[in-house]
Amino acid sequence: MIRIQRALVDGVRNARQASDLHDYLQQAIKLEHATIPPYLTAMLSLTPGVNDRIGRLIRSIVVEEMLHMSIAANILIAIEGHPAINVPGFVPTYPGPLPMSIGGAGFEVGIAPFSIELVRKIFMTIEEPEHPIPVKDRTTLALPAYATIGEFYAAVKDKLHELGDGIFKVGPDKQMLSWFPPAELFPIVDVRSACAGIDIIVDQGEGTSTDPFQSPGDPAHYYKFGEIAAGRELIQTPNGYAYGGKAVPFDPAGVHPIKSNCKIADFPADSLAGERIREFALSYSNLLNALHETFNGRPETINDVMGLMYELKVTAPRLMTTPIPGLGGATVGPSFEYITASGPERPPRTGV
């Protein structure tokens, strides 16, 4: 996975009590969320009926990132923390670095239409395992000054074992436990269940140290993006693994020509482009508000979240087919900015 500053891992290891872990788990929630806007944009930029196989692969990753965010939030809730979703700074600035101060020289993530280059250079970097299993000639660059997300979660598990079951004081009635299979999203009540949840996050993201598949026929995120980049499904061979299975075709004509990294301020408020980008951003902001309520004492609000997710899916095609005058056919891309009905504002810190 992406490399982060080692100080974050050291901070987890030096925790003396459950409350010392609150901020680190909040950072994990922010990171799991931060991957969703770029992945979702790439998926939604694929025109209907074209590149459907790629769209399904990315969608499966988006859904699992939502699961990972929920697991991290439930662990924080269980040890008496309060996930902060609709607060200043929760949404990263795109383009820019992801949360947790990832390593690497100038690595930034933006909001852009789908391309093979985007998958290879950005998405696969985000999901790179601590020890990638060799597929063709891919290697990993050693960065001694940095840790990995896998190492971060391993440190969290170690610290939970050290602090023991007594730190888990908030029961399942306050946790979000619907919309995902019970085998994946279950009550966090003790060290065992919390560590089992973390294992799901890590295995789905990067696979195990010996197997790139999180389950038979279902590669981990890094290798799913690898399938898209290589144009072939991942298969096991007598000598290891290769992208040599069924074709994963890509038609460049099947992508909306959206402008990357659009912001509300880029367009006149009374223009069609301005109205539609604001409509999308407001739906996204309402989604964050509903998520905040879901993870702060009202888990039943997840039903509203799912409705708002559908609303984003409906507004995206209208947005991505809206031309930008003077840009040679480019259309408006989504803005993941937190706004209120009256305009961009710093959201109130409610429910925490």
Please give the pLDDT value at position 343. Answer: 52
Please give the pLDDT value at position 349. Answer: 38
Q: Taking residues 107-136, what's their average pLDDT?
A: 87
- What's the CA gap between 227 and 243, in Å, rounded? 6
Q: 3-254 adopts what CATH topology?
A: Ferritin (1.20.1260)
Coil, helix or strand for 3? strand
Nearest to 185 by CA among 176, 116, 304: 176
Calculated CA dihedral for residues 28, 30, 36, 38, nearest 10 degrees? -110
Model confidence, pTM: 0.86
Q: Taking the chain, what is the end-to-end CA distance rounded to the nearest angstrom?
A: 30
Q: What are phi and psi of 246, to 5 degrees?
A: -60, 150
- What's the CA gap between 30 and 33, in Å, rounded? 5
In the chain, where the domains are located: 3-254, 264-344
At 145, the pLDDT band (50, 70, 90 cuts) reads very low
Interaxial angle between packed helices 191-206 and 52-78, expressed in degrees from 0 to 180 and rounded to the nearest 10: 160
Share of the chain above pLDDT 70, in %: 89
Average pLDDT in the chain: 88
At 60, the pLDDT band (50, 70, 90 cuts) reads very high
What tens digit of pLDDT does each residue of 237-252 get? 888 899 999 999 999 9
What tens digit of pLDDT does each residue of 151-201 get? 889 999 999 999 999 999 999 999 999 999 999 999 999 999 999 999 999
